């Protein structure tokens, strides 16, 4: 029998994994949006940052995760309040993954009328049906799926 403590820690690991999965989905979705260049065409504006999308990966330091990363998708601070003595003229960047998961910063203040879902809720994008663990499915859903399978087989 699994003791309660071990069960609890497993539950936390699972929650953490779920959270990270959402963070990754958001980062991927925002990266795709950047690549579409829609923000450029329609003059989207963000409060603190502007997209810095490169054709090839570049090295920058992310001010949020505090790591040096080698990426194509970055967000450049518009008005860095930097210390000019220690960092003269130093641009400040956030990596796309951190920016995508900072709800306060990532929602644009000026945009075309059609917002993609990641800008409308920090819970987007949801897991697709296939990615969802079986345990989360209701029995009805599982049953329907089985019935669909049967139909396919008999068709």
Number of residues that bind Zn ion (CB under 5 A): 5
Q: For Zn ion, which stretch binds (CB under 5 A), given 4-12, 60-68, 78-86, 136-144?
A: 60-68
Question: Residue 113 and residue 44: Cα distance in Å, rounded?
Answer: 10
- 98 counts as binding Zn ion under rule CB under 5 A: yes
CA–chain centroid gap for 78, Å, is 21
- 64 counts as binding Zn ion under rule CB under 5 A: yes
- 62 counts as binding Zn ion under rule CB under 5 A: yes
Q: CB of 57: closest distance to Zn ion in angstroms? A: 14
In the list 13, 17, 65, 127, the residue contacting Zn ion (rule: CB under 5 A) is 65
Q: CB of 66: closest distance to Zn ion in angstroms? A: 8
User: Closer CB to Zn ion, residue 52 or residue 98?
Assistant: 98
Name the phi and psi angles at 3, rounded to 5.
-75, 165
Q: For Zn ion, which stretch binds (CB under 5 A), given 26-34, 53-61, 79-87, 96-104?
A: 96-104
What is the β-pairing status of strands 93-95 and 68-77?
antiparallel
**Could you write out the DSSP letters of every residue in 90-155?**
---EEEHHHHHT-HHHHS-SB--S---GGGT-TTPSPPPTTTS-GGGS-HHHHHHHHHHHHHHHH-
Binding site for Zn ion (CB under 5 A): 62, 64-65, 95, 98
């Amino acid at each position: 029998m699994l003791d309660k403590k071990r069960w609890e820690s497993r539950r936390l690991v699972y929650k953490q994994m779920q959270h990270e999965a959402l963070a990754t989905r958001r980062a991927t979705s925002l990266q795709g949006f950047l690549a579409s260049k829609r923000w450029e065409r329609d003059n989207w504006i963000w409060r603190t940052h502007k997209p810095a999308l490169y054709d090839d990966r570049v090295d920058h330091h992310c001010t949020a995760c505090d790591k040096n990363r080698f990426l194509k998708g970055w967000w450049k601070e518009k008005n860095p309040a930097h210390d000019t003595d220690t960092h003269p003229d130093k641009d400040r960047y956030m990596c796309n993954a951190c920016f995508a998961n900072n709800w306060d910063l990532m929602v644009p203040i000026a945009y075309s009328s059609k917002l993609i879902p990641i800008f409308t809720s920090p819970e987007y994008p949801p897991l697709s049906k296939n990615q969802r663990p079986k345990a989360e499915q209701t029995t009805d859903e599982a049953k329907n799926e089985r019935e669909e399978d049967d139909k396919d087989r008999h068709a």
